[in-house]
Chains A and B, each alone.
Chain A
Amino acid sequence: MPTIVIDGKEYEVPQGENILEACLGLGLDLPYFCWHPAMGSIGSCRQCAIIQYQNPEDERGKLVMGCMTPVQDGARFSITNEAAASFREFIIESLMVNHPHDCPVCAEGGECHLQDMTVMAGHRDRRYRGLKKTHRNQYLGPLIHHEMNRCITCYRCVRFYKDYAGGSDLSAMASHDHVYFGRHEDGKLESPFSGNLVEVCPTGVFTDKHLVNDYTRKWDLQSAPSICPGCSVGCNTSPGERYGKLKRVHNRYNPDINGYFLCDKGRFGATYVNSEKRIPAVGRRSKDGLFDAIDSSQALTAIAKGLSTSKVIGIGSPRASIETNFALQNLVGQQNFCTGISETETALVSACIEAIKESGAKIPSPREIERCDAILILGEDVTNTATRIALSLRQAVRNEAYNMAEGLQLQSWQDAATRNLAQDERSPLFLASPHATQLDDIAEGIFNLSPSNIAHLGYSVASLIEGKKDDAATKTDANDYGNIAEALLKAERPLIISGTGVTDTSVVKAASSIASALVAKGKETYLSLIYQEANTLGITLLDQGQGPSLSNIFEQGENNNIQTLIIVENDLYRRAAKHKVDKLLQAADQVIVLDIMDNETCTQADIVIPASSFAECEGTLINFEGRAQRHFPVFESKHPCRPSWEWLTEIGKLSSNKNMLEWQCFDDINKACSESSSTLTGINEVAPDRKYRVGGRKIPRQPHRYSGRTAMVANLSVHEPKQTDDTETPLGFTMEGHSGDRPGELIPFVWAPGWNSNHSVHKLQTGSEGELKGGRSVVKIESKNLIQSKQQVKSVSQNNDQDHFIAVAMYKFFGTGELSSQSPGIIELCESESIELAIEAADKLGVSNGDGVTAHGVNGAVDLEVKINDSLISNCVGIIQGMPGAANINPGEGLSLTRSENWVRRSEIISSDQLGSKNV
C-alpha cells in the first residue's frame, strides 16, 4: 500500500485509489459533488481541490483535483492549505450564484449534500449582486419531482441515468450557465432506476414526489433497517416513517447486494403500507354477508377451538417471512402445510434447487455478477423480475472497458476516459427470450425463441462446451451457439442466468447443464437463478417438499376433506384458476385469512385478521442467492394489526400446541425454525437478537434531532407520552441509544457529524464501496444443504398444432407485483391487463391494439385485451403475470384464440383528461 503525506501526517492508503477516495476513507473531510463511489470521477465540479507538493522542499505546491489525482507512494498533499481552502470556498460561492435560497421549503433540506458542503467549505458572504438564472421544471411522472432551479450542474444525474443505468430519456441540454437536465419533453422517466436520482442528486433537483406531497424532514423520520419485499433480490432498504405513515424508502448500503442503488419498485412500491385497503380490524362475516368487527380474543378462541376438532389446512405464502410460514407450519402440522405456490412454479423452483446442487457452480451476489465477464441469459426477463440485477449486468458488460483501460494504465475510476476509450466495446452478453427485453441494448447476441427452443439452445451450448458436436443445430444456429460457447469458455468468470420466470423447467435444466459443462472445464462458473417473490426460495426450503401441493388441496376440498382453511398473506386467486379457488373456499367450513390488504381471497373468508406489513414487523426473508436477511419494524403496527407470526403463535397457544407454547417472542420462533432443519440452520444469526446492546444501550430508530415529539399528540394530550418499549428487537422507538459503529444489519439510517445526507455512508464504510466498519453478518444457505422438493408435476398438455399459441409468461415492472402495485404513484403506472400478440397472430385473428380476444385453455375461456408486441415470436402469446385473468392460463399451455365479438373497447382518453392526470 502506498504511503502518502497529508498535511504533514503519513497515511497508508489503498493502491489505485484517487486522493479524494483516500481522504474520505481515512475519515478526512474533503468536499465534493461530481464524484460518486460507484460512478467514479470526471473532474467537473472542481470542489475537491487540494494542494499537491512536488517534494518535501516544495512549499508552494500545485492545485489539483482530488478525484482526478491517483495516489502514489510518497506523494504529499495538503487539504488545509489556504490556497486550496479559499479555492474550494470560491467554488461553493460560484455554485451558489444561481442556487435559490429555498432551503426552508426544499424537500432536500436537512439531508442536502450541498448544504453540508457549503458549511464544510466555509462559504458565507455573497459577492454576486445580479439576478439568479431560472428554469422551467418538467413533469417527470408520478414518482419524481423536478426543481431545476436548484441544480448545481454536477452531471451526476445524467451520469447515473445514462451511463450507469443505460437510460436514454434524461440528458444534459444547452450549455454555459444554462445547462438543463431533463427530458426532451414532459413525461415519465422511463428507466426502472429513475428513483436513484433522488439520492444521486446532491441537492433538491430530483426529489421523491410522494415525500414532497406529504413531507417530513429526514431528522423527523423514524427508520429501521429493512429488506425490500418486492422481489427475490432482497435489496437492503431504509424506510422512513412519521405519524404512523411510511413516508419514503431510501437505499441502505449493502456491498454485496444493492450497493448504492435500488429499483423504482423497491423505492416507490412500499407505500401500500398506508393504503386505505389495509384490513382495519378483525372481522367475522355475519349472516348478511358483511364483515363485523369483533374482538380479537373472541376470534382467536373460535379459531383455536376449530383447530382441535377439525381437519385443518394452512396455506402459507412466498411473500411472508420464514417465521410466519414456520408458525403456520407448526400450527397445522407439516402434512397440512402448503406453500401456496402454484405447482408449475414449485416444479420450477425445485428444478432451480436441483440445478444449484448438481451443477457445482457458484451462486453470485449482485456484486459478484458485476465482476462476471461473459453472460448468457436463458429466458429470464431480468429487468422485470429481478430488476436490481439488471443494473449489475449493465456494469458486468463494462469489464471489457476496464480491461482496455488497464492497457493504458487508466484507473477504473477514470470514468469519462474509460468510456471514451471503450466506446461500444462490451464484455459479451447473450440473451434468449421469447420477446424483446430491456437488456437488448447491451447484448452481443439476441435469440428470440420459444421457451422450448431456449432450452434447446442451452443444451446445444452445453454440448459445444463439452466439445461434442451438436448435430441437431442448423448451420447458422451452430455458428451462433458456437460463439456463445466460445465466449463463455474464454471468460474468467462466466455467468449463466435463468429462473422461474420463463416457466419451463427444461430451460432451467439447460442452464444447469451449461454451468456443469463449464465447471467440468475448470471454469470459475456462476449460476444465477431468479425466483418470483421475496421468500419463494425460503418457503420452499421450509416445506422441503413434505406438504401437500396446491392442487392436492383443491382435491381435498373437492372431497370435502377440509373443515378449516387458514390462508396467510396469500391471495389464492393469483395462484390458480378462479373456478378452482372458488370451489375450495366454498368447500371449507371455515376460511380464515390473515393478510395485510384486502383482496379477492379476503372477500371469500369467514374470519379476516389484519396482519402487519413488512414495515411494521420483524421477519426473515431468503433471497435468490439463499441469503437470509432480516427486516425490522420501522414503526408500531396500528391496533389491532399484529405480525402474522404473532397471531399464529397466539392461536397455537390457545390450542395448546406444544411446540408453540414456549414461544414468547420473535427470537424464539426464529430459533425454533433454525433448529428445525439443517437447511435453515443459521437463520438465527442473520441479525443480533433482541437482547443486543452496546454499552447497555439499544440502537435508536430516530435521529438525535427528531423533533416535535410532544407536539405530535398535542391534540390528545400536552404531556409527552412514554416511548413504546421495543421488547422484540435490538432497536428502540426513540432517539436515545448507541449510534456509533453498528453491525450493518442494524443501521436504521445514515448520519455523521457534518454529513447529514446519505453521503454520510462513507463514514460507516472502510473505503468507497467497501465493507461496513461495524461488520455485517452474512448467512447463506449452503447449496449442499438445499433440499429439493419432491413434487413433480405432470407436464401441461401442449397443443402445439398450428391453431394453438403457446402461452408465455410476461412480467411488467409496474403491475406484476401484488402489493407494490397498490402503492400511490405506481398505481397510475401499472399497465392494464392484456394478452400480447405478435403482428402475424393479430393479423390472423383480425384484431388490433385494444380489441378483445378470447383465449381458450384448460381452465376455460378468458377474454383479454389485445396488445401487439412486434418482438414476440409468432407462435407465442404473452400473458402478463399478476393480473386477474392471468391465473386462469398456465404458462406453457396451448391456447386457441378467437376474436372476442362482444368486446367493448376502452374509450380513448381525451386530451384534457391527460392534462388532469398530470397533477404536478
Chain B
Amino acid sequence: MSESVVSNGPLPIGSKGHLASGWWGMLALVFTEGALFAYLFFSYFYLALHSISEWPPNGAPHLNIAIPGTIILVAASVVVWWGERGIRRGKTRQLIMGLSGAIMLGTSFLAMQAVEWHNEPFKLGSSVYSSLYFTITGTHILHVIVGLLMMGVLLLWTVLGYFGAGRHAAVSIGAIYWHFVTVVWLVVFSVIYIVPRLG
C-alpha cells in the first residue's frame, strides 16, 4: 500500500468539510466534560443514597419552569442543526438565522434558570442537597454561557463571510459543543427533577 496511495491526485488543503483536527479535538473535549458531569452525578447519587433525612429535603423540585426550559434548550439545538445544514449548501443566511435563534433561545434559558435559582427556598450552604443542586445546575449554566459565547463568535464570523459550502469546520465544531450542552441538560433534568418523583 505504498506508492499507489500517494498518487491519488491532489489532496485538499486545510479544514475541508467538517472533519478538521479541531473536530476531533472537540470530541475529546466533550468526552472529558461528559466525564466531569458523570462524576457530578456520581456524587449526587452517592450523597443521596447515604442521606439519613428526606431527599430532597423540600420534596422534588417544581417542573413549571424546568419543562419549558428543557423545550427551549432542545429548540436551541435544533435551530443550530438547521443552520449548519444550511451552510453545507452555502446558505449563509440560514446559518445566520440559526445562530441568532440559538443565542436568543439560550439567553432565555439562562433567564429562566436565574428565576428558578431565585425562587428556591434554600441557599448554597443550606444543606448537602442545596450544595449539589447549585453546583450541578451552576456547572451546566457555565457551559451554556460558554456555548453562547461560541455561538456569538461564530455568528460574527459568519456575518464577516468567512464560511461557505466548503469551509465551515468551525461551525460544525461549535455545534458539537452546543448539542452536548443540551444533552447534558437532559440528564441534569432527569436526575434533579424526574428521579426524585419516581421513588
Do A and B originate from a single complex?
A: no
CB within 8 Å of A: which residues of B?
A: none
